[in-house]
Amino acid sequence: MSKTSRSRSKVRLSRALGIALTPKAERALEKRPYAPGEHGRTRRKTDSDYAVRLREKQRLRAQYGLREKQLRIVFEESRRAAGLTGENLVELLEMRLDALVLRSGFARTTAQARQLVVHRHILVDGKLVDRPSFRVKPGQLIQVKQRSEALEVFQVAAAGGHADVLPKLPAYLDVDLATLQARLVRRPKRVEVPVTCEVQLVVEYYAAR
């Protein structure tokens, strides 16, 4: 799939889910804040309870760029842990390396953050990690590999070039953009995580299956 086709796909998915997955999709939603297709303006008025729960699950999946199997695995872990399952789910997802690379301002989108990890540009505590799903522990240091710092993508990041499209830096991260370093200070709390999702509906979706 070409870059243009992927961009169009993200815009359509964003309109279907009612959330902006990329900066381009955000501009498109401002112009047409309804789902694509001839029934896009009216479809949600007749959504069933199942459809509403499914859409929330799809929203969460899309914002983290996950496959269904990946989300299901984290959900099961969240269900077994102490505390509220929905909150656990978002908090564990937010500790993924690609999610924290994005939140830190090293990347502009989730897809770009994943690519930077896969292409072996990111270190955790000085060791190369190329798995986007790697779970960062509180206290660990995320940084750009020294040999990669001169790449344009990281020069833009170091200059704060993504600040216009990213949410405010959350309190669970300590970031120094100038040196392209970020530390996970503590486990994120659901209320702090900048994702749009009614997590209880996601829990209900999986509980019914």
Across 111-121, average pLDDT: 97
Question: Taking Cα atoms as reference points, which of 185, 165, 95, 107 lies closest to residue 134?
Answer: 95
Q: Is residue 63 part of a domain?
A: no
Q: Is residue 132 part of a domain?
A: yes
Q: What is the DSSP code (8-state) at residue 178?
A: G
CATH number of the domain bearing residue 118 = 3.10.290.10
- In this structure, the answer to whether residues 34 and 104 fall within a common structural domain is no
Which amino acid does the sequence have at 74? V
Number of independent structural domains in the chain: 2
β-pair type (122-124, 181-184): unpaired
Rounded to a whole number of angstroms, the distance between the first and last alpha carbons of the chain is 33
Indicate the SS3 state at residue 78. helix
pLDDT in tens, 36-66: 555 555 555 578 999 999 999 999 999 999 9
Q: From CA 122, how far away is CA 131, in angstroms rounded?
A: 10
pLDDT in tens, 139-184: 999 999 999 999 999 999 999 999 988 999 999 999 999 999 999 9
Domain carrying residue 10: 1-45
Q: Is residue 167 part of a domain?
A: yes
